[in-house]
Structure 1
Amino acid sequence: MTLLQVQGLVKEFSTPGALGRKSTFTAVDDVSFDVGLGETLAIVGESGSGKSTTARIAARLLEPTRGTVVFDGQDVTRARGKDLARFRNDVQVVFQDPFSSLNPRYTVERIITAPLAYQGIKPAAGYRAAAQELMERVGLNPDHCRRYPAQFSGGQAQRIGIARALAVNPRLVICDEAVSALDVSIQAQVLELLMRLQAESGFSYIFIAHDLAVVRQICHRVAVMNQGRIVELGTREQVFGDPQDDYTRTLLAAVPRINPEWDAKRRQRKVAS
């Protein structure tokens, strides 16, 4: 079953030009994809490819210039008021830099339960108990709920961001470069956490990344973006095992020994040519 469907997304930005004239830059150009229940769709590409802009439109953090966003059969492209609040209860975002997305003046308890307060949800056992339960779920010490973000490491801060996203039991979590700011060992721990949480709760992911090794570990399908367009879309096995687009091949070639089978096929193609 399809949970999210985006169709024909276009996002244009106006930039100052010479003599006071404005020019238009197209960051996302006719992008379409869908995400199934319990599925992880990875959107990959180099910096500036439009992948994060696409994700923010899908989360309704940016308005599209054209195109539609349909969630669970409902067109939410121009949703407002209660409809938008309901959508944001179902779709949460984990951002790239955990510290910049966590208010340094708020305790972890307040940060994690902010989505509950926004939705007007009052947990039966209270906000502190809810925060502690979520902290335990993501592998943090619940006794530290009164601490501030600066008192945590980068990996722990990202776990706080994940706990905040899970507070309202979302159906779709968008991870916008959620592990790119972490070192390799911490990346592995956070990825394992994300996969475990998905197995437990059955929600879907859109996973934005430029690291193809990370994408191969976590995703079911891959959309490759280049210059605002999706140039390849397929299952993990299709994209990594037999890429069809030259840009995809270039990205894969930049990751050493990411897939021995693909490397063997690439060598065979070179010999044949």
Structure 2
Amino acid sequence: MTGELLLRARDLVKQFPVAGTAGLFRPARLFTAVGGVSFDLHAGETLALVGESGSGKSTTARLAARLLDVTSGTVELAGQDVTTRKGKDLAAVRRTVQVVFQDPFSSLNPRHTVERIVTAPLLYQKRDIPGGSREFTRTLLDRVGLNPDWLNRYPAQFSGGQAQRIGIARALAVGPRVLVCDEAVSALDVSVQAQIINLLRDLQAEEGFGCLFIAHDLAVVRQIATSVAVMTAGRVVEAGDRDTVFGDPQHEYTRRLLAAVPRIRPEWEAARRAKAAAR
């Protein structure tokens, strides 16, 4: 355990009605996207939820961030149950948990300047902006490796990696304790992925936030995660610290995921093959 317990999810379930299955005297059939997921996230820890598309990992992340209501189960932030919070009470959760989305361009308003984008969370929460809007934005842009003088530019003037840095700056504006990265690097080139991963690691070392990192690329996960939970069909089938899950996977699904990775750290791959041969 790295530090203070920040986020606790217990028995999360999310069901969606299946379109076209409801009738006058017949309730809609329900699809279970997440079926009883539990995990803890500590300060300074990066927990990666991994699995194939449709495994339920992104839905789990949105439940934890309270972007979706749970069907059943509980979400606790710093020991406080936030599962059913609404309105102003839910807005308070946003000061603790922020999300970095997969496609930066779809999450950044193309008509807003960088300054307006970065300060929007504070304005939404009716909080004072330390040092004023311009200086605050310049400081955050510098922290995420962007030119502070770009505060008057628009999203279309940036590359994908630069736009993702703006998204990270916006998330950091409220000083979150938990950062949820939902496939935050999957749409980027490999070299840019490495830059964003290094940035997240450096920021986490400075701020001490917990990071819930959603990904399907195990090569990316091994670079950033401290612990891993493997999901399939809406459930966690294996969880543990990164080296254990990568070096000695216990579940067949995890072994299949690892076998599909073109390259993996040689010592982990050698250990995994040796254990598999000994079974």
Q: Give yes or no for TM over 0.5.
A: yes
Root mean square deviation of aligned Cα: 1.4
Q: How does 1:199-210 map to 2 (within 5 A)?
A: 199-210=205-216
Q: Distance in 2 between matches of 1:13 and 1:155?
A: 33
Mark the CA change 1:68 to 1:225 in structure 2 (over 3 Å): closer, same or farther: same
For residue 38 of structure 1, report the CA deviation from its aligned partner. 1.3
> Any idea what the Cα deviations from partners look like across 1:21-75, whole Å, max 9, x if unmatched?
6221000000000101111100000000000000000000000100000110000
User: Contact (CA 8 Å) 2:46, 2:211: kept in 1 or not?
Assistant: yes
Q: Percent of aligned pairs with the same residue?
A: 67
Cα pair 2:185 2:193 within 8 Å, conserved = yes
Structure-2 change in CA distance of 1:69 and 1:19 (3 Å): closer
In the other structure, the counterpart of 1:167 is: 173
**Cross-structure match for 1:12:** 15
Q: Secondary structure of 1:99's partner? A: helix
Instruction: Report the TM-score when normalising by structure 1.
Output: 0.96
Aligned mates of 2:163, 2:208 — CA distance in 1: 24
Q: 1:148 maps to which residue?
A: 154
In the other structure, the counterpart of 1:196 is: 202
User: What are the within-5 Å matches in structure 2 for residues 72-91 of structure 1?
Assistant: 72-91=78-97
**How far does residue 18 in structure 1 lie from its aligned partner after superposition?**
5.1
Whole-angstrom CA distance in 2 between matches of 1:97 and 1:266: 34
C-alpha distance in 1 between matches for 2:171 and 2:22: 45
Length, aligned pairs only: 273
In the alignment, the residues of structure 2 paired with residue 101 and residue 239 of structure 1 have an alpha-carbon distance, to the nearest angstrom, of 33
- Aligned-partner SS, 1:9: strand
TM value normalised by structure 2: 0.94
Change (3 A) 1:241 1:269: closer
Partner of 2:261: 255
Give yes or no for contact 2:249–2:272 (8 Å, CA) kept in 1: no
Q: What stretches of structure 1 of length at least 5 have no aligned partner?
A: none
Task: Tell me what 1:106 maps to.
Answer: 112
Cα distance in 2 between the residues matched to 1:69 and 1:19 = 30
CA distance in 2, matches of 1:121, 1:270: 55
Give 1:1-273 correspondences, 5 Å limit.
1-17=4-20, 20=23, 22-269=28-275, 271-272=277-278
Distance in 2 between residues matched to 1:34 and 1:136, nearest whole Å = 32
**Cα distance, 1:127 vs. partner?**
1.1
